[in-house]
Amino acid sequence: MNHEEKKALTRFILLYTLSSFILMAIIAILYYNKAAAEAKMTCEKDLKNTLLSVEMDLRDACMNGEPYRFDPSRYKLKVGLFDQNRSVVASNLVHPVRDFSKKINMQPTFVQMLKQLRQPLQNIAWIVTEDIRMPSQLHQLKLLIALTMLGAMLFVAFIGYLLSRLLLRPAKERIASLNRFIKDATHEINTPVTALLMSVSALKKKRCGEEKLLRHISISAKQISSIYNTLSYISFNEQQRERRKRFDLKKAIQKNIAFFEEIAQSKKIVIQSDLEPTYVTMVREDADRLIGNLLSNAIKYSYAGTKITVTLHDAIMHVSDEGIGIAPRDQQLILKRYKRVSDRGGGFGIGLDIVNTICIKYAVKLSIQSSAGEGARFTLDFSALRHPLNRR
């Protein structure tokens, strides 16, 4: 699974899981609110019933002329009896009564209900009942809902993963088939392109044929070669072995300028260079692709009759053109694969993606200075690759 597939899979699972979580959260909240409301109603009912039971026992004791004997086992909830001064007469309350002005006092761990008798009975003026079950039940309900939500989320994420893999399988197989075709086609193109370039070069040396015709053939062959190099990098980059060597970046730039000069001349574009020897350590083919794609891009989007300037000083390379330019909002977009902001010049939207990929690979700092209609300037800082022995 490549990076793009992982990215798409992750986004699908996150979106699927998040939407499911929101739906389950709404259901869980509604269920909890209903359960909490029912628990509170039951709690208040039990508190009132206990108050009435205690009051009835007090009145029965008074009517029978007997002293009231407090028996906590007779009552469902905790009970507290207080005199007119709010002093404890008898109690098995777990929590003290702190505020006698409230008829009902709800706390995170208990609920108390108070009743003041119109006439004290056997020195008892206040009856307080207490329920410690309801808050605990609500806490357990919250915990149960949270654990259920967690389990459901894991299950949903797993189902989302299976669904995404199932849905992506046909596209993945199609892409794999297409990639195999591109690799095979790229491999087959190599031989005729190489033969064509060598044949044109030999005909030029022997001065056989019409010069203008040979130039057109040479330009076309080089353009095909440039496309081949792009497809080759995409198709076989993962299979290539690292062969980093020390070489002069100036010579690599000069070689690429010489290669693209004929293509540039077909548009009456002049390539000017001001280069100093700069020794770097990297894969030589990557350097050629980096430079070649920048030059190809500059030629492609330059106006006819303009110039392209390439400089290399203090391990910093500039490639400047006088073309259509790039709007600031598009400067990061064009570095992504298959992204193009203009139909001028054709292309696949791959060249600058390769440039950006190679720069990231070697920690080469890439920056773009441009605005629409005013040309573009690409700056590459090779300081991280500069060889210690490079003193020239």
Rounded Cα distance between 291 and 256, Å, is 7
> How confident is the model at residue 271, as a pLDDT?
92
Residue 311's DSSP bridge partners are 274, 318
Alpha carbon 180 to its chain's center: 29
Q: Per residue in 146-193, pLDDT tens?
A: 999 899 888 888 888 888 778 777 777 776 776 676 666 665 666 676
CA 289 to each of CA 43, 251, 271, 351: distance values in angstroms, whole numbers, following the listed order: 77, 14, 18, 9
Residue of 361, 337, 386, 339 lying closest to 240 (CA atoms): 361
Calpha distance 219→260 (Å, rounded): 9
pLDDT at 223: 67
Residues of the chain with CATH 3.30.565.10: 243-385
**pTM, full prediction:** 0.51
Cα within 13 Å of Cα(97), Cβ side: 29
CA distances from 18 to 5, 8, 13, 154, 168 (A): 20, 15, 8, 11, 20
Looking only at the bridges linking them, the beta strands covering 307-313 and 270-275 are: parallel
Identify the segments of the chain with pLDDT beneath 70. 1-5, 175, 178-179, 181-191, 193-194, 196-197, 200, 204, 206-216, 218-219, 222-223, 226-228, 230-242, 337-349, 387-392
Count other Cβ atoms within 10 Å, centred on residue 355.
24
Which CATH architecture fits 243-385? 2-Layer Sandwich (3.30)
Between CA 87 and CA 68 the distance in angstroms is 17
Running DSSP on this structure, what letter comes out for residue 120? E
Partnered with residue 161 across adjacent β-strands are: none
